[in-house]
Every structure is written in structure tokens, then in C-alpha cells.
Amino acid sequence: MADERDPELPGLLLRTERDALLPLLRSASERDFALRTACPGWTVRDLLAHCGSALNRVVESRFGPDVFSPECNDRDIAERAGWTDTQVVDELERGMTEAGPVIAGASRALDGVALGEWVHAGDVREAWGLEGAYRGAGLPHALRLLAPMSRRRTPLLVARLDDSGDELVLGGEQEGRAPGRYRGDGATLIRLYAGRPLVGTRYELEGVKESELCVF
């Protein structure tokens, strides 16, 4: 997988996930939205409110000094406390549809927003006990975004993906340190780099620690 940036990739990832996720959200109950997620303190509804607000900040170019900080995220969720679940989902759909071109024009600065929203869609599936968390049609696009994002943040790692047969190079070289090695599936690799639970997964990791890989 090449490191050269494809400016259309973040939008493609968002639209691909929108088409898969929105039918699930539209058919969910109020009890489903109240379930807790892997994100500390957040229910499914909180997480979706965060995602919709973050994407529409991008669409509307509303950036402040603390944008995307925990404090900013908490304010955005609180502002939507009086919304219906349908309104929260409507805002998310708009953001997933319209944010791509803005992210495309921002060099790599906002690529992490697209990847983060895709990971959060996996968090929803995980909270609901659905198959396919951190997988699906968007996984190849997500991995292509993850590779350059990890360059300056994590040690060099060569990942051999059993499910696709691809070899992916992540992270950056560190003087005097040999590359780490990963073997497993793509979804588990995403879990490692997103700091998501690894219970029930199978993978081999050599030369690096799990704690060194998280990019969020």
C-alpha cells in the first residue's frame, strides 16, 4: 500500500461507512442509543453526537483553539442533549456526506478525523454486539489512511495481514531499533492502533509493545 496521499480517500471512507452504518442507526431503538461504548463515559448517542458535531465543524470550517479537545467534545455533546436521536443521526449523515471534499483540501491535517469517525462506527457495532466491528468495506481505506498517520507517532512496524495477504509498513524508523513485526488480521491491527479492546483477538506482535502503537 503506497504512502502517497490520495485526497479522495477520506471522503471515500466516510461515504462507504455512511452507507453501511446509517441503516443500522435508523432502525435502532432508544435503548440501543443508551448503551455504553468503549469510549469512557460515552453512550452510543454521545459518541454519535460527537461524530456528527466534529464532521460538521469540518464542513463549516468552525475551528477554535481547543477544537477536538476533550473539553470541546464534551461541549458539543452537551449542546445536543435536547435533540432527538433522529436529529443526531441526521447531523451525522450530513457530515459523513459533505466532509470529504473539505478534508481532501486540507493536505493531511484532517485525515485523522475521517479515520476516527470510521473507528467510532466500529465502536457502535461493538457496543451493540454486532459482527464486523472495525471491518467491512471501509477497512482497506482505513488502513491506507492509518499508514501515513502512524509515521511520526509510532515505531516502525511491518504488518502481514492474514485476511488480505497484504504487507503494510507503519510507523517510522528509530535509530538503533529494528522494525517490529505483526501478523494477524486487519481489524485487529486497527484495534491496536486505535487503543480498542483486544479481548478475543489473535495476533503475533514482536519488537514493539501494544502501548507504543496507539495513534489516537
Encode pLDDT of 89-118 as tens digits: 999 999 999 999 999 998 888 999 999 999
Q: Alpha-carbon Rg of the chain, whole angstroms?
A: 17
Contact 5, 108 (CB under 8 A): yes
Q: Is residue 71 a part of any domain in this protein?
A: yes
Q: Same structural domain for residues 51 and 113?
A: yes
CA distance 135 to 54: 22
CA contacts within 13 A on the Cβ side of 103: 31
Q: Same structural domain for residues 33 and 103?
A: yes
pLDDT of residue 2: 44
Query: Domain boundary residue among 59, 92, 127?
Result: 127
Q: Same structural domain for residues 22 and 102?
A: yes
Q: Based on the structure, what is the number of domains in the chain?
A: 2
Residue 120 structural domain = 9-127
In angstroms, the Cα distances linking 112 to 57, 67, 107, 116, 131 are 14, 13, 11, 6, 24
Contact 188, 201 (CB under 8 A): yes
pLDDT by residue (tens digit) across 137-147? 999 999 999 99
Q: Same structural domain for residues 106 and 182?
A: no
pLDDT of residue 127: 98
Strand order in the sheet with 157-161: 167-170, 157-161, 180-184, 204-206
Instruction: Indicate the helix (H) or strand (E) that contains 169.
Output: strand 167-170
Residue ranges in the chain modelled with pLDDT below 50: 1-2
Closest by alpha carbon to 50, among 63, 62, 39, 64? Answer: 39
CA contacts within 13 A on the Cβ side of 206: 7
Q: Same structural domain for residues 82 and 156?
A: no
Q: Same structural domain for residues 88 and 191?
A: no
pLDDT by residue (tens digit) across 9-19? 999 999 999 99
